[in-house]
Each structure stands twice: as C-alpha cells, then as structure tokens.
Amino acid sequence: MRTALVTGAARGIGAATVRHLAGAGYAVLAVDVAADDPALPYALGTKAELAAVASSTGAEPFVADVRDPGALAAAVAEAERRWGGLDVAIAAAGVIAGGVPLWEVPPDQEDAVLDVDLRGVINLARAAIPALLRRPEPRTGRFLAVASAAATRGLPMLAAYCAAKAGVAGLVRALGVELGGTGVTANAVSPGSTDTPILAESARLYGLPGAADFAAQQPVGRLLEPAEIARVLAFLAEPASGATTGAVVPVDGGLAL
C-alpha cells in the first residue's frame, strides 16, 4: 500500500486529490490549517470540511499550517509512524490576495501569499523529501506541487501570486536535478481557471460577478474541475511516472497558450 500526505486537503484541488488517491488505495494523511487567516478577507477551509473529506475517504485528518516547519515535520512523522513510511507528498495548499497593483497590496496579505504558496511548498519539501528518501531502494517516492498558469502568464493585480507560483515551478525543476538517481522525483502541475474557492476570491478581486466569468479566457471554454487536476497529480504520484521529473505539467484548458 502506498502512502501519501496532501496539504490544502480541506477543499479544492487538495480535497479532490485526497479523494482520488484514497479511491486508488492509498493511505492518505489529509493536512490543512483548517482555520481562517486574519490577513485575508475570505474564508479558508474549516475543520468541519477537513473532517468531512477524511470521513468520506478513510483518510486521516491532520491540522497543520504549511508556514510552520515544525508542524509539517510532525505531519510527516505521523505518516511514518502510522504506516511505516511515506511515498508521496503533495503540496496543494494555497491562498490568493491582490486586486490592486503590487505596491498597494497590504504587506500582511502579500506575506500570506508568499509564505503559503511558495514557502509552504519549500517547507513541505524540507520535511517530506528526507522521508521519501528513507524508503529502501528501489525507491519510487514522489514530491508534487500545485503551481498555476500564473507561473508563466502575468496576471494584473495578482503579482505576489504570480511570483509565488513561478517560484514553485523553479523549485521543482531544481529538485528534479537534486534528486537525480535516487528514485524520487519532483514535479508540479499548472492548473488554469479551476472551480475552487480561490477562483471565487479571484473573481471578487477583479470585481466580476462570479468564477464562471473566467471560463471564456480558456480555449476549452469552461472552468476546470478540481478532479481533473487531481487525476494528473495521481498519475505523477504513481511508480510508473518515474521518467518524469523536474516537470511543470499544464492542466490549464489551454490558458497559457
């Protein structure tokens, strides 16, 4: 049985990934901060949502803030204690802020975006990759992250978000090289406009009626579903994906074309 740790698990792409992996027979530690951030003007995932994801999938819930390296180390330790090791770590936690030019964004909101969306991925890598490497050879460990089409496409009034996601893309490319020859790979997916609470908040920041207004900007002509992103993450999590490393895989409905 393969084991996985997923951050941002209470809702959105993280929750969809927990559901997909659990359905495929993984043992999953579903990690989320499960609390609002006073710096951000919208609601984050809740303990009730995290509990619902866990109860519906058989995953184990674990409350941790990705900005806290000690909390992520404890989450990794819990996965190893419970299941004897860790095979997959997926950084799906994310927040968004902006709606004004960068120089007008409140510093605490900018910090939240950079600290969760980039530093949180780095923190998970530092905590989880040693656990992936503790598996005996031949290893098939997988470190995965959720980037964004914003990593390559400049989005006005979301500069910090673009910077963080570009950082995630650069991080996995470097990790792919650093992990060469170990059997552990590092990759990211780059979603387009996906029907999640982050997209709903993006619509509010742009003064749009709702997330559906983003559908027209994608060549597929619709919003993506979180499960579509989760399916690609699940493929990259499998042992059979070992030929792919240091990659940023677009799952964006053509948004970045």
Residues acting as catalytic residues? 161
- Bridge partners (DSSP) of residue 142 are 88, 185
The partner residues of 3 in beta bridges, in order of sequence, read 27
The secondary structure element, H or E, covering residue 30 is strand 27-32
Half-sphere exposure in the Cβ direction for 214 (13 Å, CA)? 24
Write down the H helix ranges in the chain.
Answer: 12-23, 47-57, 69-83, 107-114, 120-134, 159-178, 197-205, 226-237
117 DSSP 8-state letter: I
Asked if 143 and 186 count as a contact pair (C-beta separation under 8 A), the reply is yes
- Work out the angle at residue 188's Cα, subtended by the Cα atoms of residues 185 and 193, and round it to the nearest 5 degrees: 165
Give the single-character DSSP code of 115.
I
Q: Is 253 helix (H, G, I), strand (E, B) or coil?
A: coil
* Angle of helix 69-83 versus helix 120-134 axis, rounded to 10: 30
Query: What are phi and psi for residue 115, nearest 5 degrees?
Result: -70, -40
Look at residues 208, 114, 99 and name the one whose alpha carbon lies nearest to residue 158.
Answer: 99
